[in-house]
Chains A and B, each alone.
Chain A
Amino acid sequence: MTHFRFQGPRRIIAVMVAAAMSLAMTGCQESGSTASDEILIGHFASLTGSEATFGQSTDNGIKLAVDEINEAGGIHGKKVRLVTLDDKGDAREAGTAVTRLVTKDGVVAVLGEVASKLSLAGAPICQENGVPMISPSSTNPKVTKVGDMIFRVCFIDPFQGAVCARFARESDRIKATKAAILTDQASPYSVGLQEEFEKAFTAMGGTIVSKQTYNAGDQDFSAQLTAIRGADPEVVFVPGYYTDVGNIAIQARTLGLTKPLLGGDGWDSVKLGEIAGANINGCFYSNHYSHEDPNPKVQDFIRKYAERHKQTPDGLAALGYDAARILFEAMQRTPNVDGKSLAAELSKTSGFEGVTGKISIDAERNAVKSAVILEMKDGNPTYVSTIQPGE
């Protein structure tokens, strides 16, 4: 009967072998070999999920920049190839996608992500493997603090919060002394922006009369909006993403809350006008660029983008385009395209004429640049003013 004794362990081994085999079957693909006449760059983005338009817009912008550089003969005679991986807006998937890009696909640089949370998940992997990463539009200050390989081409939350606060406080259109805040408490972006806005607004002599929170994906905002209406603010700061903002605008107007809403670049999507319709008219948000900007560089970009992707580019597309172009410019300046020299070149970027303004990379690897304020008119964002850094 002794031969029964090993049955327990044997079963455990069987389970493990089963697990190992199911892994091995899927895991035995050969790692991708890179042709020497190509330069691979990676992009991780939320192509699916609740913020899918962010990833898709950014990817379209990057694709346009890649096409342009290839038409112009590539970099050092080599074509650039873009590998885009979806992370469905999930931090763990973002980590996996970046691991794949830098260790399996062997990209020389990584572009991404829009959401700060996802950039923070991917950045340590890029840093550890010595691959430069440029986030086109993560505004949380922590992102570039990960290390000397991590850059961004957008402004950061403290600047954007201050821009919104100054606009609310000083613009002739609002001149508010009392503001209410409605924050998405589950979103680091929203919470970060809210903190900076509050700080700047109270420093300029304004008061926050009501602070309410919601969760992304909520359908009913009437409780919060009723409370805000009772506090009688002159402006409502809603630093959320476009889907929720659209619903908030509709319900605010239904409840008779007619004061303008104000927000950040999370509003920037063609979907906002589609969701909210006329309810969002007369509301403002800060953004990276305006497609009404007469600057020939901007108009040129919009024309080319519309030709390739059949739509008007939003701010994220423009940032994706700028991020890719800054990367290519740095590549062209350095003879050997490896992580270290590329990062060194990127940090020297100064006065780059991008679609989203003049971009310089500072010592903290953040972009120093201007912001624009847009107003929603008939479902379309229209240009109001530009606010320079350090003003």
Chain B
Amino acid sequence: MTQSANRSGTVERTGTAVLPWGANGFFGMMPIIVGIGFAVLLHFVLPKSIGPYYSRIVTDVGIAIILAVSLNIVNGLTGQFSIGHAGFMTLGGYVAAFVTYYVSSILWESTTRHGGFLGSGEWLFLFSCIIGGIVTAIAGYVVGLPSLRLRGDYLAIVTLGFGEIIRVILQQTGKVIDPEAVKSATWSQIIPPPVGGAVGFDGVPKYTNLFWVYTIMAITLVVAYRLKSSSVGRAMISVREDEIAAQAMGVNISREKVRSFVIAAFFAGVGGGLYAHEPGVIISPNDAGFQRSFDYVIMTVLGGRGSISGVVIAAAILTALPEFLRDFAEYRLIVYALLLIIMMLVRPQGLLGIHEIWNLRRKPKSPPIAEEVK
């Protein structure tokens, strides 16, 4: 209990408990409603004001935030070192793309965009992203199991292996069936799953837009934040800080570890669904490789262990930075790497350490008890 955030969280809950149930629920949903409003605003204002290129970067930032914040639940909150997050993302992306592509083919006999803003196509897209998330969560459970016995480097290798397995399995998949031919597909075309093999899943309908990315981002942030300040999150933090002490306090360590993997994998899968449906992206097995996993690990490390706002800022900076270093032409990745090194040297604990951005002005080391007495 080192953070003051929890205390105010408790206060909030006792405060609202007096209100009738409906109002309580309404205020509970408040952040998500605000987030959706924000997403609608972005969706309708941004492309017109800053153009498609910058809107695209903003979209990429949103997806990166979803993935980095979800990885932070495992790496930052629970302290398990996972470097297979891109594996989860790609698995979710493929499942979601599979559902959208083939359901569109069967329902509408084409894979072009169906319906406008919030039209039937977009609801199918949301549905398939959630399916992707659920399948990935199951995979997260499977990967979480070995983490009961492993820690540190060994667990990292297991998660790395998971990403590689996903990558190699996806390379062995079959050719994508044309939308017109889906209904007459034979078994030999369906097994192995027709998702394109090494070429990548081409022809996925492109539904991802700012609205969906930022709506899902808002949900991810709210869940991550509520989780962090809940008893479950506290248990996860205790696992991170000292497993033996946590166990002595009655925390079921293995349950917390697996739980963190499942939650993180779910959001990674949904984020992967958004990625697979983004215009100008072809999801391919290589996306599951450790290179992309490391991008997200860097975001969480740079943001600070367990600091949601820190990770959000780091994800935004690291996604946008390579684009704004284009003036350096072929040297931009060297400059990018150099900036990373400098940032890590200057802030080894991450941008915000374990704090959230709104806690920074308080004295970081003040004992929580003192304030409570006051």
Q: Which residue of B lies closest to A11 (CB)?
A: B358
Return A212 CB to nearest CB of chain B, in Å. 14
B248 at the interface (CB under 8 A from A): no
Which chain A residues lie closer than 8 Å to B221 at the CB level?
Answer: 12, 15-16
Q: Which residue of A12, A88, A100, A124 contacts B35 across the interface (Cβ within 8 Å)?
A: A12
Binds A, one of B56-64, B127-135, B137-145: B56-64
B320 at the interface (CB under 8 A from A): yes
Is the pair B312, A19 in contact by a Cβ cutoff of 8 Å? yes
Binary interface encoding of chain A residues 120-159 relative to chain B, with 1 for a CB under 8 A from any of its CBs, else 0: 1110110010000000000010100000000000000000
Is the pair B309, A117 in contact by a Cβ cutoff of 8 Å? no
Could you write out 13 A-B pairs with CB less than 8 Å apart? A9-B31, A11-B356, A16-B218, A18-B357, A22-B317, A86-B326, A92-B275, A96-B56, A103-B53, A104-B51, A124-B206, A125-B279, A215-B168
- Given known pairs A15-B357, A18-B313, the reply for A99 and B222 (CB within 8 Å) is no
Is the pair B317, A7 in contact by a Cβ cutoff of 8 Å? no
Is the pair A103, B330 in contact by a Cβ cutoff of 8 Å? no
- Given known pairs A27-B57, A86-B332, A96-B56, the reply for A12 and B316 (CB within 8 Å) is no
Is the pair B200, A117 in contact by a Cβ cutoff of 8 Å? yes
Report how far A17 CA is from B202 CA in the complex, Å.
35
Binary interface encoding of chain A residues 14-36 relative to chain B, with 1 for a CB under 8 A from any of its CBs, else 0: 11101100110011100100000
B residues lining the A interface (CB < 8 Å): 8-9, 11-12, 14-16, 27, 30-31, 34-35, 38, 50-54, 56-58, 60-61, 65, 167-168, 171-172, 197-200, 202, 206, 218, 221-222, 225-226, 275, 278-282, 284-286, 308-309, 312-313, 316-317, 320, 322-324, 326, 329-330, 332-333, 356-358
Which chain A residues lie closer than 8 Å to B52 at the CB level?
Answer: 99, 103-104
A47 at the interface (CB under 8 A from B): yes
Q: Interface of chain B, helix or strand or loop or mixed?
A: helix
Greatest chain B CB density within 10 A among A31, A92, A124 is at A92
Is the pair A96, B60 in contact by a Cβ cutoff of 8 Å? yes
Is the pair A7, B197 in contact by a Cβ cutoff of 8 Å? no
Return A383 CB to nearest CB of chain B, in Å. 32
Is the pair A187, B198 in contact by a Cβ cutoff of 8 Å? yes
Report how far A26 CA is from B327 CA in the complex, Å.
14
Greatest chain B CB density within 10 A among A14, A95, A192 is at A95
Q: Which residue of B30, B60, B226, B282 contacts A91 across the interface (Cβ within 8 Å)?
A: B282
Is the pair B53, A100 in contact by a Cβ cutoff of 8 Å? yes
Is the pair B15, A5 in contact by a Cβ cutoff of 8 Å? yes
The 8 A-B residue pairs with the shortest CB-CB distance, nearest first, are: A95-B280, A188-B199, A12-B31, A104-B53, A103-B52, A9-B31, A47-B330, A9-B30
Is the pair A8, B320 in contact by a Cβ cutoff of 8 Å? no
Q: Interface of chain A, helix or strand or loop or mixed?
A: helix
Is the pair A47, B329 in contact by a Cβ cutoff of 8 Å? yes
Return A289 CB to nearest CB of chain B, in Å. 26
- Given known pairs A12-B225, A84-B329, the reply for A23 and B281 (CB within 8 Å) is no
Return B188 CB to nearest CB of chain A, in Å. 16
Report how far A19 CA is from B357 CA in the complex, Å.
12
Q: Which residue of B lies closest to A216 (CB)?
A: B286
Return B217 CB to nearest CB of chain A, in Å. 8
Report how far A313 CA is from B36 CA in the complex, Å.
54
Which chain B residues lie closer than 8 Å to A122 at the CB level?
Answer: 280
A48 at the interface (CB under 8 A from B): yes
Q: Which residue of B30, B197, B313, B330 contacts A19 across the interface (Cβ within 8 Å)?
A: B313
Which chain B residues lie closer than 8 Å to A23 at the CB level?
Answer: 57-58, 61, 316, 320
Report how far A85 CA is from B332 CA in the complex, Å.
11
Which chain B residues lie closer than 8 Å to A9 at the CB level?
Answer: 30-31, 34
Q: Which residue of B lies closest to A142 (CB)?
A: B202
Return A106 CB to nearest CB of chain B, in Å. 10
Which chain B residues lie closer than 8 Å to A6 at the CB level?
Answer: 30
